[in-house]
Amino acid sequence: MQKDLLRIYDLSRADMDSIFERTADLKKKKKNGTAYEPLKGKTLGMIFEKASTRTRVSFEVGMFQLGGHAIYLRWTDMQLGRGESIADTARVLSRYLDGIMIRTFAQSNLDELARYADIPVINGLTDMCHPCQILADLFTVIEKRGSYEGLKAVYIGDGNNIAHSWISAALRLNFDLTLACPKGHEPDTAIFERARKEAASKILLVQNPVEAARGADVIITDTWVSMGQEKEYRERIKAFQGYQVNEKLLDGATKDVLVMHCLPAHRGEEITDGVMDGPHSVVFDEAENRLHVQKAILELLMSKKQDVLRPEC
């Protein structure tokens, strides 16, 4: 694996399989009550420019369980909020910490931090992607179905950070992915076209959610209004009418379809209560698996002295 985890596209299939393997082992150890502390004496800094429940708590608990320590750093409480450069922040934090997890708006902030930090940097969500979430989702699929091989995954809704990471996962792991997005809310063209050209599997973009959901093994959705888009709320709710994951939409899917949502959910908007709380939903398993997958990532990136690779320097 490279020094950092910045996007799914940077991972090979072998990288992802080793994350899933370590996740299974770490989850088993936790369930059996076996103490395992490979990160004793190590500290993770967690920088947040946006809100979070799952990411913050699962990373902090994960570090604690691995014998290490985590520090919560709010962007606006740091000198970053007063204009200190990301590069200087990276240089300074590398002198104190053993790893950084960051949730920020621009992917370029993350890339810059990783470029100037001598320690591993992990993407805890940007406007462009959310790799830790999609790794947890895929681990959940493996737990429930044995494998991601031969899957038809369907993403319904906004072509956002979650959609982008699913697109890169389909490209790397060779499963079929259909996205149904309303006009004007499609995924980033460069990310989609690159995947469509490079993938051995089928990666399709359609407008009709009912057509997309036909024969789906996994249906994924996400909020229609991501963090930072609050001012567009009314216009977005209107644009996404017809894209709700509801009981009717599941009629066309396979009979044991898995329904996934990274959470937080907006019940009654992108997903109904009936589906969220129904037999197909694995949303809380996904949320739990954030903890186990991220422990595997932390262990892989932080437990040994990394040879510092800076691919873009």
Catalytic residue numbers, as ranges: 103, 130, 133, 222, 262, 290
Helix axes 161-173, 13-32, angle to 10 degrees: 110
Between 101 and 213, name the residue whose CB sits nearer to ligand CP.
Answer: 101
Chosen from ligand NVA, ligand CP, none, partner binding at 53 (C-beta under 5 to 8 Å by type): ligand CP
Between 93 and 287, name the residue whose CB sits nearer to ligand NVA.
Answer: 287
Residue 222 CB, nearest distance to ligand CP (Å)?
9
Work out the number of other CB atoms within 10 angstroms of the CB of residue 31.
9
Tokens of 283: 């949303």
Per CB under 6 A, which of residues 3..62 are in contact with ligand CP?
Answer: 52-55
List the x/- string, 224-253, binding to ligand NVA by CB under 6 A: --xx--------------------------
* Stretch of 35-43, 103-111, 218-226, 268-276 contacting ligand NVA, by CB under 6 A: 218-226
Which residues lie below 8 Å from residue 216, measured CB to CB, with a gap of 6+?
152, 153, 154, 178, 252, 253, 254, 257
Phi, psi of 216 (to 5 degrees): -70, 140
- Give the CA angle between residues 157, 14, 306 to the nearest 5°: 105
Between 228 and 268, name the residue whose CB sits nearer to ligand NVA.
Answer: 228
Between 221 and 306, name the residue whose CB sits nearer to ligand NVA.
Answer: 221
- CA–CA distance, 297 with 85 (Å, rounded to integer): 27
Between 125 and 213, name the residue whose CB sits nearer to ligand CP.
Answer: 125
- CA–CA distance, 199 with 169 (Å, rounded to integer): 10
Chosen from ligand CP, ligand NVA, none, partner binding at 276 (C-beta under 5 to 8 Å by type): none
* SS3 call for 24: helix
Per CB under 6 A, which of residues 130..189 are in contact with ligand NVA?
Answer: 160-162
Residue 263 CB, nearest distance to ligand CP (Å)?
5
- The reply on whether position 262 binds ligand CP by CB under 6 A is yes
Work out the number of other CB atoms within 10 angstroms of the CB of residue 230.
9
Contact 194, 35 (CB under 8 A): no
Give the residues lining the site for ligand CP (CB under 6 A). Answer: 52-55, 125, 133, 262-264
Give the residues lining the site for ligand NVA (CB under 6 A). Answer: 125, 160-162, 222-223, 226-227, 262
